[in-house]
Structure 1
Amino acid sequence: MKKITFAMVIITIALSLGMSLFSSPLLANTENNRTESRDKYLNIMTVNKPQYDMVKKIIKDKCNVQYMFTNEKDISEFKYSESVLNNISNMDLFIYSGTSFEPWSASLIDELKKGNLGIINLARGVRLLNYSNENNTKENPYYFEGIEEYKIALYNVKAAIQDRDPQNRDYYEDNYNIAIKEFDKNIKLYEDKLKSLSEYRFITLNNDFDYLTKSLNLNTIQLDNHEIAEFIKINNLDPKKVIIIVDGENGTKLDLSAYNTIKLWKYYGDMSFDDLILYNVKELSKWAKAKETTSVTTTSEA
């Protein structure tokens, strides 16, 4: 009886050891897999809401993104503090336009505690336009209203996030491709109408819309110091085939009641950059529908 009991004990111990040998590695692998598959949660700060919207197109709801401003005037007049520096320094990514649109960005970046913070210049790879102003050359900061320029900026957003979260690279890539495809599809809807605008001459009052007009191949001429009527006469323009581009935010002090005008936006804080481009394209395309009309037309505000 004792021999049988002793044998059963030996068998029980052997079975226990066998289960440990085979089951322990399985448990360890399960734990490792759980760690490897855990999503990396990024904290991202952008300067303005349209940049925030770009980030959301890439991350959807996977990470956290915040923005600092909506209004352009608030961006221009911003004075940062120590608390702002600390807040941004604790982020994973800080995204800014990379132009004079944020005149304080260079000094702010110099004072940030870099650590693990990634600083992303959205204008990287963008061919920025310059213009002359009182014998000085100035940078045109409104590149995000241009079609190809917007695509480059969105690519920079995607690449920066992929670099910080390579495990979900394909997810971000898919979201980027979807966003570009939708954007191209929306623009293409107005392709034929935009081509018909070649018969018009667009008078610009400054350089703010250069990226947009170049993207759409519009025939433009910039107003100089002459009065509108004199300017049109000097340049042998047909008043019926002239459209004056007016800034939707700042307007103009000129009396343009006798001329065709269109109100466009170079920046609109509550509108994503792709929607801003599409809005301007839609407004321009309205002239294709009524191209035989000679009466004055002014578009509505955004």
Structure 2
Amino acid sequence: MKKNLKFTFCALAVTALVSAVVLSGCSGNTAAPGASDTEPVSNTAAVSRDEESTGAASPESEEFSAEIEAEDTDGQKLKVMASFYPMYDFAVKIGGDKAEVTDMVPAGTEPHDWEPAATDIKNLEEADLFVYSGAGMEHWADDVLASLETKRLVSAEASAGLTLRPGHSHDEEEHEGAEEHAEEEEHDRGQFDPHVWLSPVNAKKEMENIKNAYVKADPDNKDYYEDNYKTYAVRFDELDQEYKDTLSALPGKSIVVSHEAFGYLCDTYGLTQMGIAGLSPDTEPDPARMAEIIDFVKTNHVKVIFFEELVSPKVAETIAAETGARTRVLNPLEGLSDEELKNSADYFTVMEDNLKQLKAALE
């Protein structure tokens, strides 16, 4: 990626040497040995002074300045935009010190219904890489990407290649009488369950897809990105095995969660989820749904009703009071709070804590 200064620098050195010989001939002085070995910083300073005295730069000085500017910008970090927290975390882990990664969704914000503002679109126009999960999680992504004028942006749909769960949920049953959605909106908002990252097996694949996008955007640092991925691939495998060993040994297999975000995790480890809300947490259950949830809790001897920090616990607390259950937090990793970020929480620490919460609920 670096531009070669060798030719330009040599040309200037020769020019300086010839000038020195001519001047020495006029004055009768002999140049001291080594006087022609000019340091690059001195050359830059000389060019600046020449430009100030003549009002214009020589072709040689213009070329040299351009080469220096190219050298200064070489090694500049990739500008990476991530659609929400898990994508941000994975992008940071792969990019390391080669990337400047921005989480588009502010800390503490529920991402399901978040949409980018004009400043976010501008940042995407100027970015090198855009990382998003896909499968309908970012309902705005396709339209925004189609609207961008930039041709250099590499986009990575991290869920590409994964087997997706169907997205039907009780949300649709509650709106049977509503006007049918357009086909595109149906695809974006419910054709698939988008919460793929909550299975460590799927999260590993998402990080691999992100790594491949980094390599495409910055092939000169391929080995760096590959090494970072290999490091975290081992951690995903260890986390997966820990979930298998822990959950398979527990008698309970049923959980009640604030919204149906844990389907991939449940499929991977043999659990069954009952969601208070559907794939998006912004709906409250009607009386019929509440009765169904309460019956599920009693029938399956559910001891804990899970809620999440970015969603009101009110309904979970109501169900717990009705059934004698307790409440605990189970984090869907859709976004972390400022406090969690200050405490250096990441995907792995949150998933470890989730496993502790599941163990306490199912033992």
Q: TM-score if structure 2 supplies the norm length?
A: 0.59
1:266 correspondence with 2:332: yes
Which of 305, 308, 311 aligns to 1:248? It is 308
Is the 1:262–1:284 Cα contact (8 Å) retained in structure 2? no
Residue 212 of structure 1 and its aligned partner are, at CA, apart by: 1.9
Any gaps of 5 or more consecutive residues in structure 1?
A: 1-34, 292-302
Whole-Å separation in 1 of the counterparts to 2:77 and 2:131:
17
3-state SS, counterpart of residue 119 of structure 1 = strand
Which of 83, 86, 91 aligns to 1:55? It is 91
Whole-Å separation in 2 of the counterparts to 1:190 and 1:232:
23
Partner residue, 2:132: 96
Residue 94 of structure 1 and its aligned partner are, at CA, apart by: 1.2
3-state SS, counterpart of residue 61 of structure 1 = helix
Deviates more, 1:88-97 or 1:185-194: 185-194
Residue 39 of structure 1 and its aligned partner are, at CA, apart by: 5.0
Residue 217 of structure 1 and its aligned partner are, at CA, apart by: 1.6
Which of 125, 140, 148 aligns to 1:112? It is 148
Whole-Å separation in 1 of the counterparts to 2:85 and 2:293:
36
3-state SS, counterpart of residue 131 of structure 1 = coil
Partner residue, 1:68: 104
Deviates more, 1:58-67 or 1:71-80: 71-80
Is the 1:54–1:272 Cα contact (8 Å) retained in structure 2? no
Whole-Å separation in 2 of the counterparts to 1:91 and 1:50:
19
Is the 1:49–1:272 Cα contact (8 Å) retained in structure 2? no
Any gaps of 5 or more consecutive residues in structure 2?
A: 1-70, 181-185, 277-287, 337-344
Partner residue, 1:7: none
Is the 1:85–1:111 Cα contact (8 Å) retained in structure 2? no
Deviation per CA, 1:158-199: give whole Å up to 9, x if none: 000112222222221111011111232244345432112244
Whole-Å separation in 2 of the counterparts to 1:255 and 1:286:
18
Deviates more, 1:191-200 or 1:152-161: 191-200
Partner residue, 1:281: 355
* Letter of the 1:218 counterpart: L
Partner residue, 1:148: 201
Give the 5 Å matches for 1:225-240.
225=289, 226=291, 228-231=293-296, 237=299, 239=301
1:177 correspondence with 2:213: no
Whole-Å separation in 2 of the counterparts to 1:227 and 1:65:
43
3-state SS, counterpart of residue 168 of structure 2 = strand
CA-based RMSD = 3.0
CA separation of 1:245/1:151 partners in 2, compared to 1, >3 Å: closer, same or farther? farther
Whole-Å separation in 1 of the counterparts to 2:121 and 2:275:
41
Partner residue, 1:161: 214
Partner residue, 1:124: 160
3-state SS, counterpart of residue 320 of structure 2 = coil
Whole-Å separation in 2 of the counterparts to 1:222 and 1:68:
27
Whole-Å separation in 1 of the counterparts to 2:122 and 2:359:
46
3-state SS, counterpart of residue 141 of structure 1 = coil
Q: TM-score if structure 1 supplies the norm length?
A: 0.70
Query: Could you tell me the percent identity over the aligned residues?
Result: 26
Is the strand fraction higher in 1 or 2?
1
Whole-Å separation in 2 of the counterparts to 1:232 and 1:73:
27
3-state SS, counterpart of residue 142 of structure 2 = helix
* Letter of the 1:286 counterpart: A
Deviation per CA, 1:39-73: give whole Å up to 9, x if none: 57422111234322211211211222222223443
Deviates more, 1:68-77 or 1:89-98: 68-77
Whole-Å separation in 2 of the counterparts to 1:92 and 1:266:
28
CA separation of 1:245/1:147 partners in 2, compared to 1, >3 Å: closer, same or farther? farther
* Letter of the 1:210 counterpart: G
Residue 220 of structure 1 and its aligned partner are, at CA, apart by: 4.3
Whole-Å separation in 2 of the counterparts to 1:199 and 1:87:
47
3-state SS, counterpart of residue 95 of structure 1 = strand
Whole-Å separation in 1 of the counterparts to 2:147 and 2:117:
10
CA separation of 1:219/1:197 partners in 2, compared to 1, >3 Å: closer, same or farther? farther
Is the 2:91–2:131 Cα contact (8 Å) retained in structure 1? no
Deviation per CA, 1:254-286: give whole Å up to 9, x if none: 331302554312235235334333321121123
* Letter of the 1:116 counterpart: R
Whole-Å separation in 2 of the counterparts to 1:238 and 1:222:
14
Whole-Å separation in 2 of the counterparts to 1:170 and 1:87:
27
3-state SS, counterpart of residue 101 of structure 2 = strand
Residue 149 of structure 1 and its aligned partner are, at CA, apart by: 1.6
3-state SS, counterpart of residue 153 of structure 1 = helix
